[in-house]
Structures are given as structure tokens and as C-alpha cells.
Amino acid sequence: MLNKFLRAVASALTAVLLMLAMCLVSCENGGAADTSSAPDQTLSPEAGEQTTAAEVTTEDLSKIAENDIRRWRDKAIGGNWALALSAALSECDSVYLPAGTYRMSSVTVPSGKTVYGDGDDTVIYPLGTTVFEITGTVGEEIKLSEHMPDFSDTIKLTKSAGAQAGDLIYLMSQRNCTILEDCTYDWVLGRSYKSGTACFYAEFLTVAEVSDGGKTLRATTNTVFPFYRADGTQESVPRKPAGTVSDYPYMRDAATVQLVSPAHDVVIRDLKVIECKEPAIVGSWMQSCRIERVTMCSEEKSAPKAGFCLLRLSEALDCEVKDCSFLIPQKPAVSLHQKSANYGDYNIARITRSYRSGFDGCYSDFSTHAFLIGKAHKKGTSYGCYVKNCTAENAIWDGIYVSGGCYNTVITGNTVKNSGRGIVVAGRKNYIADNDITLSLSPQTDYYYVRRESGGTAGIALIEGCSVDSVVENNRVSEATTAFLVRDGYEETNIFEYGNITIRNNTVTDCVRAVMVYRHELNVGEKPFTLTVVDNDLSGGAPGTRFAGQTAVVLDPETTGAVITGNKFANYTSELYPAR
């Protein structure tokens, strides 16, 4: 009987010791928590406390998806899940990050791969840098051996670029698209020179046929832009910039072709990145990639530094940022940045030097510019990009900005609220339609971005002289000093001298002015520029209210080529200045 009792006690003690051993192993591996909590040793942003994921036993592995990142938890060294994600991506086409908080350093997402989570319940805490990188590669620049006929499809090179049929190439001109004398009124895409920025015509092409040992390429389409030449002998030296620019004058001695191996078909979706000090997502040389339903936030307790952005893409072809949110929990003191001439302080989401790429359905709660389509120094143009169905609030300058060096941009279905300006375009050939803009700032507002003498707060502004060949239609603008502003730039060459702008079928309510043309003091005399304002419903604010209407259409006295017809006016003291 005693022996039986002792055996029972021994058995019980063994069970207890086994349980203690399992607990020790569990503690060494991060401990146990409920299944919805964050993975191993992940820092909580609120108070620095630690949260952990449920211990995954051999038995548990059968219960989770084959692509669940927890299968690679042994790679999460020191609570950093970057190596675990990289290992998972090497084995799976898609990797699932279940609800929880993951500390993570930078991860490059390869072509054809998807990273996804459970929406805002999947939280990424960056370890000091960008979290997701999408990066392709590009070969050396090979010069053209012969001038390329404008708008043609055949390129002759000094040597083979190694391209095959079906490959992607990047064709970049020797011509600076901001020099009027070289580009002519028909094709100049910008006029700024004070910063010394040089931008060159460029585009992606797909190779259809290769011959002559790889030195002759025929593309599947003709080029969008002209001016691809084998040398730089026809190029003008750009005007000297203000101040000292180390690489002035930056010029290219020939058009070139580069073979591109893009990062392609990457998808990042349904997760949240918090406490960002750097961009959450960066991409370049990419094709057919999508960023969907990702929330990106700056630091919770500190305002971001000037120059901050949350997303930056460049050299993107057919890529889209869709239904993403860009949030700044601690907003900088607006008064500080209203004094700044640096309009790039907070370009929150940027797509530059890209082709048929853009934003759709995104949201920003603070910026200097929320959504930017642009160019960059020494780089190529943007073509066919877009901002659609997005919402921007509290933008110091504007909710949407299209810089010079951009061509054929579409801006439709967006909402901008409580901002200095709604939509500002400096690029050429813009289609701006079906946007809803309510600025709400006082008509007395007067700071660097929205000077009262040059239009004040404005719903839609076309600026700097090159935003011509544009159509503005079916928009709704309210509570602005000027609903539609055509405004020369600060520099004497950034003036409207040519082209046309059409403003039609728009609805304006509670705006001090409906339309204004502001000319630089050096923009004098008649110019071949046509402004058409037709079939709009234009209403100022009621007398005695904050946005009480004054003159509906204000033209510079020397404005020529204006066609003002078929419009309905209400609550304005007069319809047109100067009177015709």
C-alpha cells in the first residue's frame, strides 16, 4: 500500500517538474499570452511595455495557415521580425501577419510577393527606419548612336544594352524640359531656374524587337515625348540659379537607354505602420505594384521634422496606392511653417518621375502637400499619373500638388477641406474634374503659400506659366477667397505666355471671387494665352458674411485672350474687372 502511495507521489512530482520545465522553455521563447496579442517581445508604443504572442507548439502549427509568419518565429531575433518576414517571403508567395504588434527593421519585398494583415489590428513598429522597400534594378546608360525621329519607335544605340523582346527599358532625353528656347511653347513642362533643378524628358518603353546585335531596339509603342538625340550640341545652357549650386550647369550629352529589371507585382495591404520617423514604404524601379489599405502614422508624441513624408515612390510604372491613410497624430505648429518658403516641409505621400501611377481613395489629415505628383533634380518627367477619390484635410499649402515636369495628369473625385489651397498644378495638360473643395480659412489669410495679393486661399490654382492645355470642369468650390486662380510664379520666367486653360460647368458658392488671373510684374503685353470661362454657376457669399462676394472675375488689366460667356452670377458686387 505504501509503495503504491509512493509511486503516485513520484508520478505527481514528475508531472509538476515537467510542467515547470515547459514553463521555463516558454519563458525563454517570449512567454505565453492570448492568441490575439503581438509577437515576441514587441514594444507597445504607449508606455514601452512588452507584449508577446501566443506560444506556438508543434500541435498548434497544424492550426495556423501555411503562410502565417508565426511559423518563422524562430527567426525573430531580439524581437525583430524582419528576418522572419524575409524567410517567409523566400518560401511563400504571400505572407500573413495576424493581428498583433510586430517590431521590424527594413524588409525588401521581392517581385510577385504579397504581405498582408488584419487591417489596423496588424501593427508594425519600425526599428528606426523604413519598413518596406520595393526596389528593382537598372542597367548602365547606353547612349543613342543616331537622333531618334520624334514620336517614333526605333532606337539605335552605340552598343547593346542587353535587352530582349518583352524587356522594359527607360529612355531618357538629353533635353531639359524646363528650357523654353529648346522645348518650344508646345512642349516646355516648367520654367523654374532659381533652385537650379534640371528635369529631362523620359519614359518607359517595352521592347518589341531587337536587331543589329542588340544595338537597334524597336518598341511596342511610339514615344510620348520628342527630343531624343544622340548628342547635346543643340542644348542651351540653363539660366544660372540663385545662390551657389555645386553642379551648375547640369547637362546631359546624349539621350540614353537603360535596361530595367523592375520589382513587379508586389502587394502590401491591410496593415498599419506606427511611430514613423522615416517613410513607411519606399519604392523605385517598380511595375504593377499595389499598396492597399495601409495606415501610416508619424510618432504619437512628437511632431515630425521638416522634410518628413510617409510614402515615397519613384520610377514607378502602372503602380497604385489605394485606400491608404496618412496620419500625423502630433501636428506641427502651423504658424511656424506658414513663415517658411520651403513648400516641401511635409509632402506626406509622393510619387515622382513615374508613369501611369497614382493615388486612389487615400486620406491625409495634415501636410504642406498631402498627395504629390512630381519631378526630381537630374531625373525624368512624370506622365499619365493621377490622384482620384482622395481626401485631404489641414494642408498648409494644398491637398494635391502636381509639379512642373509632369504631363497629362488626372485629378478627379477628390475632397479637400480646411486648407490653404485645394488643388495646385504646375505641370502641363491636366484634367481636373468632379472635385469637392471647401477651404474654410479666413479670406484675411496671408502667408507664403497663399498671399492675398496673388489670390489668397484658392480652390483650384494653375500656376507658374506651364500648367496650360488644362481642363477644369464639374468641380464644386466653396469658402475660398478665389475659387479658380491662374497665377504666374514668383520668378520672371514662370509666366503664362501661351497655351489655353478651360474652366467650365463648375459650381462656386460662398467665394469672395470666382476667377482671378494674377500676372507677374514682368508679364506685360499681349501673349498667345487663352483663358475660357464658360457655363459655370458662380455665387459669392451673402453681403455681410465672411466670404461676401466682391468682383466675380478679376483679370489683370493686360490679360488678353479671355473668353467669359454663359456663366450665372449671384451675390457679387460686379461680374468682371476690368469691365469689357
How many CA atoms within 13 Å lie on the side-chain side of 467? 28
Query: Which grid coordinates belong to 138?
Result: 537598372
Phi, psi of 573 (to 5 degrees): -70, -30
Contact by Cβ (8 Å): 270, 150: no
Least confident segment among 3-17, 266-280, 301-315? 3-17
pLDDT at 574: 95
The average confidence (pLDDT) of the chain is 89
pLDDT at 40: 38
Pick the more confident residue, 222 or 340.
222
pLDDT at 19: 42
User: Mean pLDDT throughout 43-52?
Assistant: 37
User: Mean pLDDT throughout 40-62?
Assistant: 44
Among the listed residues 283, 314, 309, the one whose alpha carbon sits nearest the alpha carbon of residue 296: 309
pLDDT for residue 31 is more than 60:
no
Least confident segment among 224-228, 442-446, 548-552, 576-580? 576-580
Contact by Cβ (8 Å): 501, 224: no
Measured at the alpha carbon of residue 272, what is the angle toward residues 268 and 277, in degrees to the nearest 5? 100
Question: What is the residue type of 24?
Answer: L
pLDDT at 495: 87
Quickly list DSSP for 85-135: HHHHHHH-SEEEE-SEEEEE--EEPPTT-EEEESGGGEEEEESSS-SEEEE
pLDDT for residue 54 is more than 80:
no
pLDDT for residue 6 is more than 60:
no
pLDDT at 61: 75
User: Mean pLDDT throughout 555-562?
Assistant: 84
User: Mean pLDDT throughout 200-225?
Assistant: 98
Question: What is the residue type of 106?
Answer: S
pLDDT for residue 60 is more than 80:
no
Burial class (CB in 10 A: 0-12, 13-18, 19+), 482: buried
Residues ≥6 apart with Cβ < 8 Å to 406: 189, 373, 374, 375, 381, 382, 383, 385, 426, 427, 428
How many CA atoms within 13 Å lie on the side-chain side of 144? 24
pLDDT for residue 25 is more than 50:
no
Alpha carbon separation from 141 to 22, 29, 162, 171, 352 (Å, rounded): 60, 50, 11, 9, 20
pLDDT at 21: 40
pLDDT at 185: 92
Alpha carbon separation from 446 to 90, 220, 441, 450, 455 (Å, rounded): 54, 51, 10, 6, 10
pLDDT at 197: 79
User: Mean pLDDT throughout 52-78?
Assistant: 77
pLDDT at 559: 81
Among the listed residues 519, 512, 506, the one whose alpha carbon sits nearest the alpha carbon of residue 555: 519
pLDDT at 177: 95
pLDDT one-digit tens code per residue, 367-412: 999 999 999 889 999 999 999 999 999 999 999 999 999 999 999 9
Give kind and range of the element (H or E) at residue 9. Answer: helix 2-28
Position 413 confidence tier, pLDDT thresholds 50, 70, 90: very high
Residue 527 CA to residue 27 CA, distance in Å, equals 78
Query: Which grid coordinates belong to 326?
Result: 496618412
Query: Which grid coordinates belong to 477?
Result: 468650390
Query: Which grid coordinates belong to 312?
Result: 515615397
User: Mean pLDDT throughout 498-502?
Assistant: 94
Query: Which grid coordinates belong to 152?
Result: 517614333
* Percent over 70 (pLDDT), the chain: 89
pLDDT for residue 32 is more than 70:
no
User: Mean pLDDT throughout 426-430?
Assistant: 96
Question: What is the residue type of 431?
Answer: Y
pLDDT one-digit tens code per residue, 101-148: 999 999 999 999 999 999 999 999 999 889 999 999 999 999 999 999
pLDDT one-digit tens code per residue, 330-379: 998 777 777 777 767 888 999 999 999 999 999 999 999 999 999 988 99
pTM of the model: 0.90
